[in-house]
Amino acid sequence: MIPISAVPSMIDILAIAAHRDDVEQTCGGTLLAMQAKGWRTGILDLTQGESGTRGTAAERAAEAAEAGRILHVAHREALDLPDGNVQNTLENRLKVAGVLRRLRPRVVILPYWQGRHPDHYTSATLGYEACFVSGLAKMETPGEAQAPHRPFKILYASLYADVRPTFVVDITLFAEQRFQSLMAYRSQYAQQPQGGGLFVPEGEIRETTFATARHYGLLAGVRYAEPFVQKEVGMADDLMLLPVASL
């Protein structure tokens, strides 16, 4: 067995989501902000988009590659879980754990654990349990054998959840670039009749995207932000360095 400490990390921060374009909507600005600080970022899409109302899996793959380029991610890949039927099974947990062991992120960002789309909230539980399984030394994962790895921090991107965030990330400098990464998905957001009742009209996407980011920015006294929830209690070393004014 390879010692865990001897295996270098390929990615510092890995965002895991059900569908190609979920990350762009919920934490794309954060990935940009973290990459600008020198951290290596990555995206794991669990499905390939074969069941989507708009576009094909091939179109979504090309769009995801372009969006990843705009977000400056160091790595992006997609698993083959069924689009529209993501299940939290041992087989799927091991597939995700295999990626975690290979990329070895310190921070994992997951979808929030409640929502309208079953794929989204199932991916939250699946991702969390995969992070746990990934650290079990005797658990084998698909593909080439990798040393166990368990991320240090698990965060939940809560942009579309009706919850008060634990914290927000200032994405003011990256709001426009984040928006451009979302608009790389022309099969999803270009004006078209198919799925008209499910998608925000193209002419309103910019306003909606920036208004939502502005709302979360106002909570912390910045212009644009993305919200996150963590389940564990946070800790402060110095009260004099706590950010965000109370009054």
Runs of H (alpha helix) within 77-174: 90-103, 118-134
Residue 24, judged by CB atoms within 10 A of its CB (0-12, 13-18, 19+), counts as: buried
The predicted structure's pLDDT at residue 143: 86
* First-to-final CA distance of the chain: 54
Structural domain includes residue 245: no
Structural domain includes residue 246: no
How many whole angstroms separate alpha carbon 213 and alpha carbon 63? 23
Which token pair is 157? 């991107």
CATH of residue 138: 3.40.50.10320
The predicted structure's pLDDT at residue 52: 67
Q: How many domains does the chain have?
A: 1
Q: Is the pTM of this model over 0.85?
A: yes
Structural domain includes residue 19: yes
Structural domain includes residue 209: yes
Structural domain includes residue 236: no
Structural domain includes residue 234: no
Per-residue pLDDT of the chain (247 residues; tens, 9 = 90+): 444 445 677 999 999 999 999 999 999 999 999 999 999 999 999 999 886 667 788 999 999 999 999 999 999 999 999 999 999 999 999 999 999 999 999 999 999 999 889 999 999 999 999 999 999 999 999 988 899 999 999 999 999 999 999 999 999 999 999 999 999 998 878 655 554 555 666 678 999 999 999 999 999 999 999 999 999 999 999 999 999 989 8
Structural domain includes residue 196: yes
**b/e string for 90-126 if b means 16 or more Cβ within 10 A?**
eebbbbbbbbbbbbbbebbbbbbbebeeebbbbbbeb
Distance of CA 116 to the CA centre of its chain: 17
How many whole angstroms separate alpha carbon 15 and alpha carbon 156? 10
Q: Give residue 118's domain range.
A: 8-229
Residue 74 identity (one-letter amino acid): A
The predicted structure's pLDDT at residue 2: 46
Give the residue carrying structure tokens 């374009």: 21
Structural domain includes residue 60: yes
Residue 39, judged by CB atoms within 10 A of its CB (0-12, 13-18, 19+), counts as: middle
The predicted structure's pLDDT at residue 1: 42
The 10 Å Cβ neighbour count of residue 197 is: 5
How many whole angstroms separate alpha carbon 78 and alpha carbon 95? 11
228: enclosing H helix or E strand: strand 225-229
